[in-house]
Amino acid sequence: MVVRLVMLGAAALLLSIAVLLPALAQNVPANGETVFRQRCSACHSARVGQPNRVGPNLAGVVGRKAASGPAFNYSPALKASGLTWTRANLDRFLNSPARMVPGTRMAVALTDNAQRAALINYLAAQK
């Protein structure tokens, strides 16, 4: 009988955790480095001295003129955009690259506002 009560109590606790965990996770701020690793690092590097990949190295991107990173073949659309990568422009671009710069080769959008903000903060720290 006691074992059965302990098992029921443990089951109730696990159920409570399963129900509450997603709600708690929504209140955890996004980590920019984690977002970068999960969403960007397959194509981009972000530390000084690392090579370009399929996409350019993003170290120092915040405040830089678009399509001006060293030794990377940017799309004609991005070269002609005249953009400077301010936080606001990065936010708009990352939300919908093709809408902001039709013809860009950047195909990945990051639509979550908190993840974009965290990512931009992370990139701003990569000098």
Q: Is residue 1 part of a domain?
A: no
Residue 81's pLDDT is what? 98
**CATH code: domain of residue 111:** 1.10.760.10
Interval 8-23: pLDDT, tens? 455 554 444 544 445 4
Which residues lie closer than 8 Å to 3 by C-beta, 6 or more apart?
none
Q: What is the pLDDT of residues 77-97, one digit of tens each?
A: 999 999 999 999 999 999 999
Q: What is the domain range of residue 119?
A: 30-125
Is position 110 within any domain? yes
Q: Which residues of the chain have pLDDT under 50?
A: 3, 5-8, 13-16, 18-21, 23-24
Structure tokens at 41: 């690092």
Q: CB of 124 within 8 A of CB of 62?
A: yes
Does any domain span residue 8?
A: no
pTM summary value = 0.78
Residue 6 lies in a domain: no
First-to-final CA distance of the chain: 63
Residue 47 counted as domain residue: yes
- Residue 82 domain-assigned? yes
Tokens for 10? 């443990």
SS3 state at 46: coil
Tally of CA atoms within 13 A in the half-sphere of 89 that contains its CB? 15
Q: How far is CA 54 from CA 25, 41, 57, 62, in A?
A: 32, 10, 9, 19
Residue 39 inside a domain? The answer is: yes
- What's the mean pLDDT when you consider all of the chain? 86
Q: Is residue 60 part of a domain?
A: yes
The total domain count for the chain is: 1
**DSSP letter at 106?**
-
Rounded to whole angstroms, the Cα distance separating 17 from 117 reads 29
